[in-house]
Amino acid sequence: MDAVDATVEKLRAQCLSRGALGIQGLARFFRRLDRDRSRTLDSGELQRGLAELGLVLDAAEAEGVCRRWDRDGSGTLDLEEFLRALRPPMSPAREAVIAAAFAKLDRSGDGVVTVDDLRGVYSGRAHPKVRSGEWTEEEALRRFLDNFDSSKKDGQVTLAEFQDYYSGISTSMDTDEEFVAMMTSAWQL
């Protein structure tokens, strides 16, 4: 485990020990660290916040943490990036049911879900905006796919993006059984 991973684990443990359970607690912690109210954290804000928790990093280490967590390349951390970094890893049971749902969607078997793959498993015809004529069925399918796509919205969802989406949902479910039941029902597995 490198220094950044060790920092993430320590921060997770600190947040949990202080009662920052769930996304709301971590979001409050993020807002408290965001001293300039920019809705992002720079490495200095992160460094000061971690020091308050007893996790003292030098400037270079704080920069490294920011770089590792910064998925959009902005040089700062937004709330989504911060929460994603602090999510606990998923259990093998959760990962397996997510992979099964992805495999069901990936009808071509190429490891990427596209609108063409969705056509065989999901219908947009009943969507209220399709029924009203505001959207085409293609638009409804694309918007559905966009839920799982990364921030770039390239119309192609990889297993990693699908897992990332469900890892956010996973944090709000206490047991593997509850998560597996939800996925099994939602995707008719």
pLDDT tens for the chain, 189 residues: list them. 577 677 777 777 766 565 545 556 667 777 888 888 898 989 898 888 888 777 888 888 888 888 888 888 898 988 778 777 777 788 999 999 999 999 999 999 999 999 999 887 888 888 999 999 999 999 999 999 998 887 678 889 999 889 988 987 887 787 999 999 999 999 999
Residue by residue, what is the 3-state secondary structure of 18-78?
Answer: CCCCHHHHHHHHHHHHCCCCCCEECHHHHHHHHHHCCCCCCHHHHHHHHHHHCCCCCCCEE
Measured CA to CA, the distance from residue 84 to residue 7 in angstroms comes to 14
Measured CA to CA, the distance from residue 77 to residue 50 in angstroms comes to 14
What integer pLDDT is reported at residue 134 of this predicted model?
A: 95
What integer pLDDT is reported at residue 14 of this predicted model?
A: 67
Which two structure tokens, joined as six digits, stand for 111?
Answer: 């490891």
What integer pLDDT is reported at residue 64 of this predicted model?
A: 85
What integer pLDDT is reported at residue 113 of this predicted model?
A: 94
| Cα dihedral 111, 80, 152, 133 sign | positive
CB 117 within 8 A of CB 102: no
Backbone angles phi, psi at 171, to 5 degrees: -65, -20
What integer pLDDT is reported at residue 88 of this predicted model?
A: 76
* Residue 90 DSSP one-character state: P
What integer pLDDT is reported at residue 124 of this predicted model?
A: 86
What integer pLDDT is reported at residue 16 of this predicted model?
A: 58
